[in-house]
Amino acid sequence: MKKTEVKTYELDISNRNLPPGSLNILFITDLHGTCREKDAVRKILKDISGIRPDVILIGGDLIVRRYPDTFAKSAAFAAKLTSFAPVYYTYGNHEKKCGNPLFRKYTEKLQSYGISFLLNRNVRIMINGVPVRIFGYDLDLPYYQKIRHQDLPVSDIYEKLGKPDDRCINILLAHHPRFHEQYIQWGADLTLCGHYHGGVMRLGGNRGLISPDFRLFPDDSYGEIENNGKHVIISSGAGEHTVPFRIFNPREIVQVRINVRDDTSCRRQDVQQDFNI
């Protein structure tokens, strides 16, 4: 069984409009073929039980588009997530490219479990007395092209999502990390991304070997990017499909602990935890 880590980030976010408080978020993305591995799934669920999240956010690619058997297995996994916390899900490129009847049954089944899809939608929830608005950005397929890379105008995010809510902590689920600067410019306090699988091989910092859109040594493959108090976290994901190996790049689920502060001093600390059975 391949190693799966829990990567934990601790963030301080200041907002003078909000009361002090704390949030405990679980983020999972790019499960892909791991849904077939009973031991790996069991370990992930055990880790989540230990985290005791306030909310669970799915960043897309829970399935492998070409392998319909992953639909039922991922649905069974997602059903178990609902026993821990409310679950919100946005699409990755694998979901975005699906349109067959089996996929429609998959989404209907997840909705029947109480999982909410955020496809260019948002929801406002309260966590430990702190108002939180969660946005799901459903990126158009042309921006996923492997060769002809397109720039994303920030206006597209505004058009699809509107403006962030300055009376809430704003969390953005956006599968593709290449547009992290636009997400920051839009104004999300925290953006959660996946898609790049850590760049196959980690080379230190945020850099990986290669991205799915054939960018060599991309410096946005993994980890945290911070700019002026806005945070982007890029997960290496909990699985893989076409390239079934990783180098210095373990599978992971992500815990984000947010301390909401009413002052202007923001400190950041990230802690890596490895919970192995």
Quick one: pLDDT at residue 128? 97
Residue 68 or 226, more confident = 226
Q: Are 173 and 137 in contact (CB under 8 A)?
A: yes
Quick one: pLDDT at residue 53? 99
Quick one: pLDDT at residue 142? 95
Query: How many domains does the structure of the chain reveal?
Result: 1
* Amino acid at the residue 268: R
User: Which distant-in-sequence residues (6+ apart) come within 8 Å of 85 by Cβ?
Assistant: 26, 53, 54, 55, 56
Largest Cα span, the chain: 51
Summarize pLDDT for 240-263 with one digit per residue, the tens. Answer: 887 777 888 899 999 999 999 876
Here the CATH number for the domain that contains residue 145 is: 3.60.21.10
Quick one: pLDDT at residue 23? 98
Summarize pLDDT for 210-225 with one digit per residue, the tens. Answer: 888 888 898 888 999 9
Chain mean pLDDT for the chain: 91
Quick one: pLDDT at residue 263? 62
User: Which distant-in-sequence residues (6+ apart) come within 8 Å of 155 by Cβ?
Assistant: none
202 vs 210: CA distance, rounded Å: 9
Kindly report which listed range (5-9, 37-41, 259-263) carries the lowest average pLDDT score: 259-263
User: Which distant-in-sequence residues (6+ apart) come within 8 Å of 247 by Cβ?
Assistant: 200, 201, 202, 209
Quick one: pLDDT at residue 277? 35
271 vs 209: CA distance, rounded Å: 23
Quick one: pLDDT at residue 1? 54
User: Which distant-in-sequence residues (6+ apart) come within 8 Å of 151 by Cβ?
Assistant: none
Whether residue 268 is predicted with pLDDT greater than 90 in this model: the reply is: no
Quick one: pLDDT at residue 171? 99
Token pair in block for residue 221:
């493959």
User: Which distant-in-sequence residues (6+ apart) come within 8 Å of 125 by Cβ?
Assistant: 55, 86, 131, 132, 133, 134
Summarize pLDDT for 77-87 with one digit per residue, the tens. Answer: 999 999 999 99
Quick one: pLDDT at residue 2? 76
Helices (H), the chain: 38-51, 69-81, 93-96, 101-112, 154-161, 180-186
DSSP states along 11-70: EEEE-TTS--EEEEEEEE---GGGGG-HHHHHHHHHHHHHH--SEEEE-S--S-TT-THH
Please state, for a pLDDT cut of 70, what percent of the chain lies above it: 94
- In 3D space, the residue among 86, 88, 6, 2 whose CA is nearest the CA of residue 46 turns out to be 6
Q: Are 246 and 197 in contact (CB under 8 A)?
A: yes
Range(s) of the domain holding residue 249: 4-273
150 vs 241: CA distance, rounded Å: 25
Summarize pLDDT for 112-151 with one digit per residue, the tens. Answer: 999 999 999 999 999 999 999 999 999 999 999 988 889 9
Residue 187 or 102, more confident = 187
Kindly report which listed range (49-58, 146-155, 198-207) carries the lowest average pLDDT score: 198-207
Q: What is the CA 77 to chain-centroid distance, rounded?
A: 16
